[in-house]
Structure 1
Amino acid sequence: MGRSVGGSAGIARIALQTMRSTYQELDNMTAPLARRAGELLVDMVHLSLQALGGQATAVTQKQALYDRICEHVASHVRDPGLSVDQVAEALNCSRRHLHNAFSGRDQSLGGFIQQSRLELCMRELHSPALAHRTITEIAMGCGFGNSAHFSRAFKAYAGMSPSEFRALGH
């Protein structure tokens, strides 16, 4: 017999509100951003189900490390020196532990760093306030050290060149 997950309080309420907001904004998102939003929603629903089962406080060490890694990457994404080694040093743990925190996920830590930078670039390329900046300036400001590498990575991620993407937003 199924059990309903209410959306009136706690993480379930946050998840429900986020789902509604995400659904309303889907038409304004690129496919990669919509995929990432979907992944985040799945995580929120999972937390809601854990709370329903009384397991919300049993956050594993692996999840706690993953959360710390994500916070560190978000805080340092613009730093061109951000790398697996830099994260390991900053969080005082081994590369092996970092990679273990990402096991069972769709991407490695290196991939997560690159995706975070690409998503930041996408937001900035569509920002009217940054229309005066060149694509290279935006890429370098988002932590990429090489414009050719950025262009290849962007095209592979977004399915179009940075200039084509920027033109869509203006």
Structure 2
Amino acid sequence: MREIFSSDDLPAAERLAGYREAVGQALVPVNVHADPGAPIRVRMGLMMLGQVEVCSVSATDDAHVEISRPRRLIRRSDPEAFRLLLALRGRIQMTQGDRSPRLTPGQMAFYDTSRPFHGSRRTINGRLHLVTLTVSRGLLPVADNLVKSMIAAPIAGRHGVAALMVDVVDRLLTDATRYTAADASRLAPVVLDLMTAVLSHELGDDAGRPASPESRRRVLHTSIQAFVQQRLGDPGLTPRSIAAAHHISVRLLHQLYQEQGETVAGSIRAARLERCRADLGDPLRAGCSITTIAARWGFTDYAHFSKLFRAAYGLCPRDWRHQHQP
């Protein structure tokens, strides 16, 4: 993810003006309103996943900030898009039309860039983090009138497909620096499928043309990957346990991974090794033994772990740690 604005780069007296300039030049420009002396501390990042624009905004201030998108800005720049706004931390209140939801962590709502909106944000315990995903209208396989019926309607992200959307966005941001251009192009249809799945779930059975079998399989595969990432430390994580948790056959599970050029066991092993590699290079874990770190991520046989690690990274765990610890 590319950083497009950081208030830390500016003197305190210039931060509000800098923030206004940054959001005024965005794909969907908005006005920013705050007291002239407001203690603005904001960071903005941008990432393109194919035709999906992912924007991250985090704040660590107590300023009361309002934004607005009047018709004047719409005439100046309108990508004719739908935007999914997701609150990860803090409180966000957005108004479009006759709806004015107050989004708390884990909640989300769709907005139309062609219609005026305004809103405000507040930190919770000095922190706020929101993410927007903006896509052209034609990219969502749901009729525009049905999407518009969901505009500014709050969607809870604690269960089901919406919860998966929250998990995937959180993971996207966590691993953003590791994605190649090829990764981004592959992730774009997955994100679009998840946005479509969220809409379809909220709309019920009349959500426009049905999702394709390929779309449903991509969403299922993404759900499985999120499930696996949360349980990498469990030595009992097996194809059978994963398939049972998702009410599918082990055969279908293997097919889903084969379609992505992967195997179930190989994908789990690579993810576990990457977590171990990160821990071995983390100064905060310098006091942890390598055996403890390996066991933490599901490797109960140290000799086997050491062999796998050397094959993956060219060094045994002890030598790798020696080279990469500060």
Q: Normalising to structure 2: TM-score of the pair?
A: 0.40
The structure in which a higher percent of residues are strand is 2
* CA shift digits 1:71-105 (9 cap, x unpaired): 11011001011111111122121111111111232
Distance in 2 between the 1:108 and 1:47 partners? 19
Question: How does 1:29-108 map onto structure 2 within 5 Å?
Answer: 37-38=179-180, 40-45=183-188, 57=196, 58=211, 60-108=215-263
In structure 1, the residue corresponding to 2:288 is in which secondary structure? coil
Distance in 1 between the 2:240 and 2:320 partners? 32
Matched, 1:143 2:286: no
Distance in 2 between the 1:159 and 1:8 partners? 44
Distance in 2 between the 1:71 and 1:136 partners? 26
Matched, 1:117 2:260: no
Q: What residue in structure 1 maps to residue 314 of structure 2?
A: 159
CA RMSD of aligned residues (A): 2.9
Q: How many residues align?
A: 144
In structure 2, the residue corresponding to 1:168 is in which secondary structure? helix
Runs of 5+ consecutive residues of structure 1 not aligned to the other structure: 1-6, 23-33
Q: What residue in structure 1 maps to residue 54 of structure 2?
A: 14
Runs of 5+ consecutive residues of structure 2 not aligned to the other structure: 1-25, 29-47, 56-172, 197-210
Distance in 1 between the 2:190 and 2:239 partners? 27
Distance in 1 between the 2:190 and 2:252 partners? 23
Contact 1:62–1:100 (Cα < 8 Å) also in 2: no
Distance in 1 between the 2:307 and 2:261 partners? 20
Alpha carbons of 1:42 and 1:149: their partners in 2 closer, same or farther (altered >3 Å)?
A: farther
Contact 2:257–2:264 (Cα < 8 Å) also in 1: yes
Q: What residue in structure 2 maps to residue 25 of structure 1?
A: none
Distance in 2 between the 1:115 and 1:8 partners? 37
The structure in which a higher percent of residues are helix is 1
Q: CA deviation at 1:156?
A: 1.1
Work out the percentage of aligned pairs sharing the same amino acid.
28
Q: CA deviation at 1:106?
A: 2.8
Distance in 2 between the 1:99 and 1:137 partners? 30
The amino acid across from 1:44 in the alignment is: L
Q: CA deviation at 1:154?
A: 0.8
Alpha carbons of 1:128 and 1:47: their partners in 2 closer, same or farther (altered >3 Å)?
A: same
Alpha carbons of 1:46 and 1:90: their partners in 2 closer, same or farther (altered >3 Å)?
A: closer
Distance in 1 between the 2:308 and 2:281 partners? 18
